Chain A
Amino acid sequence: MTLTEIIQIISGFVGSIGFAILFNIRGKRLVVTGIGGFASWFIFVILSWYIPSEPIIYFIVACGISIYAEVMARVVKAPTTTFIISSLIPLVPGGSLYYTMANAFEGNLKVFLQRGVYTLELAAALALGIIVSTAVAKIIYGTINKRQKP
């Protein structure tokens, strides 16, 4: 792991804690969010050694974090979205969005389109990962609940 990657993991972690505080998350739920924020970029870095495509990594990380959020939401009794949102903050394609804007401003139409499509790809991968694991969690918890109260 290079120094840049370590700095990214730590700053991503600090960023998610910052967002968690903005959302008025407290106590043990803050700890859970912090772990999620740390894990999301940590997993990203590890996966990026093996998988060349960023959107695919985004999808896998989003799936993983959503499952973590679904489980923790039941453990500490809080809405799932709480943990998904603040833990996935490091993956929000802010940089990509900025370069899309900057290229539109400079009139590089070709780069602008490339960047724009790439930003959308990242956002879609992120959303898809969340939706897939939410759906799976719903099915699993649905069957468990049905078994409990026949």
Chain B
Amino acid sequence: MKKLFSYAMDIGEQMLISGAEVHRVEESVTRICNALGAVRVDVFIITSSMVVTVHTNDGEIYTQTRRIMSSGIDIEKLHGLNQLSREICEKNLSAEEIETKLNAAINCKKYPIWWEFVCYAVIAGAFTLFFGGTAIETLISLLVGFAVRCSISVFNRLITNKIFSKFISTAVATFLALIAVKFGWIPNVDKIIIGNIMTLIPGIGLINALRDLFTGDSIAGLLRTIEAVLTALAIAAGYFVIAVLGEFIL
């Protein structure tokens, strides 16, 4: 039971890392523990930590906590984990089976890393066009989007703070846009920055935050709201700093 309980924690942890909603993870962990033979399950999960206690039918009590450091969005992995937790609830899987399936879900298919560079460029270009940019602005925005993704790769090794990394990304985008204006390729920086902000904006974080808040996970919801607000401020700060410096230098 002790070992099986660890698998339930692993599944919950991986779900949180791949961006699942809190109440969904709580539900899955409870169901898995019940299916594995727990009499009583107490779960408390927020986006950065999980605490679970199970009472087994032979009177033992186990508690485990996990600290969740990173979180992104990986839908394919989430899908695999959901599938696995459904299987555990329906069939009697052995410990080995659970382990192999868990590893398979964690190492699911991913797009190659260079796709991310392409996506950043394409998203930035598409939204420059979307907000009324011209063809030349779209082209420059594509290149700036690519450069922003490169800067994320470079700075990720130095800075682990997500909010500060958004600050740097916006600063890079603003700086490149100002240079393009300086060379006279585009009339103003507006459309380029709008396109690139779309890849950085905490829209997703905010939507998730509100969904958490209104499904009753107040703490998780508040944490996410604050993160979204801080990210928006970091983006504004990145733009401000370079715009002010740009007026002096360029």
Contacts and interface: CB of A to CB of B under 8 A. Distances in A.
A8 B232 contact: no
Contact of A94 (B111, B119, B131): B131
A58 B112 CA distance: 35
Contacts, number: 129
Interface in B63-93: 73-79, 82-83
Contacts of B235: 97, 101
B130 to A, nearest CB: 4
A127 B119 contact: no
Interface in B159-206: 190, 193-194, 197-198, 201, 203-204, 206
A113 B201 CA distance: 20
Residue among B19, B116, B127, B208 having the largest count of chain A Cβ atoms under 10 Å = B127
Contact of A127 (B20, B76, B193, B207): B207
B119 A22 contact: yes
B75 A23 contact: yes
Interface in A36-77: 77
Interface stretch (B6-14, B47-55, B236-244): B236-244
A108 interface: no
B239 A105 contact: yes
Nearest to A20: B75
A18 B127 CA distance: 11
Given A77-B79, A123-B206, A18 B123 contact: yes
A79 B203 contact: no
B106 interface: no
A34 interface: no
A104 B74 contact: no
Interface string B111-131: 100011001101100110111
B109 interface: yes
Interface in B226-250: 232, 235-236, 239-240, 243-244
A78 B75 contact: yes
Interface string A82-98: 10110011101011011
20 contacts: A4-B132, A7-B129, A11-B126, A14-B126, A15-B127, A21-B111, A25-B75, A29-B75, A77-B79, A78-B75, A81-B19, A85-B203, A94-B194, A94-B201, A95-B194, A97-B197, A105-B243, A123-B203, A131-B214, A134-B211
